[in-house]
Amino acid sequence: MQSTQTVGMKRFGAVALAIVLAACGGEHAGEHGAAEHGEENVAKGPNGGRMLEDGEFAIELAIFERGVPPEFRAWAYQDGKPLAPADVQLAVELRRFANRTDRIGFAPAGAFLRGDATVEEPHSFEATVHAMHGGREHRFTYSSYEGRVTVDAAAAKEAGIAIEVAGPAQIAERLLLYGRIEPDGDRTAHVTPRFPGIVVEARKRLGDAVAKDEIVAIVESNESLRPYELRSRIAGSVIAKHAVAGEFAATDAPLYVVSDLGRVWADLQVHRSDAERLRVGQRARVDAGDGDEAAEARVEYVSPLGSSDSQTTLARLVVDNTSGRWRPGLFVSARVEVETVQAKVAVRTSALQRVRDWDVVFLADGDSYEAQPVELGLGDGTWTEIRAGLSAGQSYAATGSFVLKADVGKSGASHDH
């Protein structure tokens, strides 16, 4: 017995999605009665629970979750009068998504009967209630759907919904660090006069390209009063210039700084609590925050010293910069792989969505999908560990789950019981 609401939608061209969704507490019917459709038609008892009636016998069933994990509570009535909980035997079967069945027994607890197991989220199921009183058995069924959507195969394909199976995966734990791009010190040269004198010519400007052994300045020596040439010992770009024609040139200050910017450093600040997790050779991804793809790099150096001011230490990555994208002085972030773990259950990170206050994965069964709350573990951008809520072997929407989330929200799901 199901309450079905079908909604036609146009999305991504001619995609038509059929939605099957109802708030907790859809239709219900006694074994001898007709089904009632819609939450507005569900009869409520004096304790706010759903009334299930079979002649003069009735069960009021509610999910109670104030201050406790969700649990069933039930009250029994005969001819409209409360029955002693000990006089009634009660059990509930919940047929959940993908043919999973939960069985819950009941025991007296003061003025009501309490279920002996947590009613796990989502509260989406087809319920069968078995009651025994005075030697007579009573059976009731009702449906309660939450976060459930149906999409036929053609529409799912056009919407980009792809199904995968949850299972083990290797997940890299990444440490997020922040820092700045700097010139590669091993590819940087300071062009300094050998003899003090006066700058006669300053041939290069800031940013100019310089060839190896190219003359960058001419200085007249104070001792010989003869000019001599200053050459760059490396090829690169002028990143600092202090040479001005007519000015004095000292032997302890460079006139030019030339750097090969085809490779640069990403100098990262590492909090003292994380420093011991870093090792030379660890892989990293450097992000400029400009929307372009991150660059692959490796940890080349971890300083044995720390800063007394910031209480951080330095970690250095070497980044290929043949494209010229990584400009010294700009701030960057980097995610360094500090550990790789084998997750027993993992899903594509693209599968994850937020519904209500849950992280969810949309389980898949044929044309049906249902939002399943999950507890997240480690993630590396591609895979995310699932610590609870999902088992290996279960099918889920790995891509296109945002379409399912949008349809659930558009259908106005609630969480009333």
Compute the Cα dihedral for 127, 392, 379, 12 and give only its sign: negative
The pLDDT tens digits of the residues spanning 391-405 come to 999 999 999 999 999
Residue 98's pLDDT band, with cuts at 50, 70 and 90, is confident
Q: Phi and psi of 186, rounded to 5°?
A: -80, -10
The predicted structure's pLDDT at residue 415: 52
Q: Across residues 314-322, what is the average pLDDT?
A: 96
- What is the mean predicted confidence (pLDDT) over 63-71? 95
**Cα separation of 286 and 179, whole Å?**
10
Name the band, by pLDDT with cuts 50, 70 and 90, for residue 20: very low
Query: Average pLDDT of 169-192?
Result: 95
- pLDDT of 31 above 80: no
Mean pLDDT confidence for 19-30? 34
Domains of the chain: 1-161+400-417 (2.60.40.3340), 175-182+262-340 (2.40.30.170), 185-259 (2.40.50.100)
**Long-range interactions of 356-362: CB distance < 8 A, separation 24+:** 356/415, 358/121, 360/147, 360/405, 361/166, 361/386, 361/389, 361/390, 361/396, 361/397, 361/401, 362/149, 362/396, 362/397, 362/401, 362/404, 362/405
pLDDT digits (tens, 9 = 90+) for 324-377: 999 999 999 999 999 888 999 999 999 999 998 899 999 999 999 999 999 999
Confidence class for position 16, pLDDT limits 50, 70, 90:
very low
As a whole number, mean pLDDT of residues 59-75 equals 96
> 412: pLDDT confidence band, cut at 50, 70 and 90?
low
So what's the pLDDT on residue 28? 34
**Which 3 state secondary structure label does DSSP give 126?**
strand
Question: Which residues on neighbouring strands pair with residue 313, listed in sequence order?
Answer: 270, 306
For residue 42, name the pLDDT band (cuts at 50, 70, 90).
confident
Phi and psi torsions of 403, nearest 5°: -65, -45
Q: What is the mean pLDDT of residues 176-198?
A: 97
- pLDDT tens track for 251-295: 999 999 999 999 999 999 999 999 999 999 999 999 998 888 899
Is residue 125 within 8 A of residue 95, CB to CB? The reply is yes
Concatenate the DSSP letters of all residues of 243-297 into one string. --TTSEE-TTS-SEEEE-TTEEEEEEEEETTTGGG--TT-EEEEE-SSSSPPEEE
Q: What is the pLDDT of residues 111-165, one digit of tens each?
A: 999 999 999 999 999 999 999 999 999 999 999 999 999 899 999 999 999 999 9
CA distances from 361 to 26, 249, 373 (A): 23, 68, 7
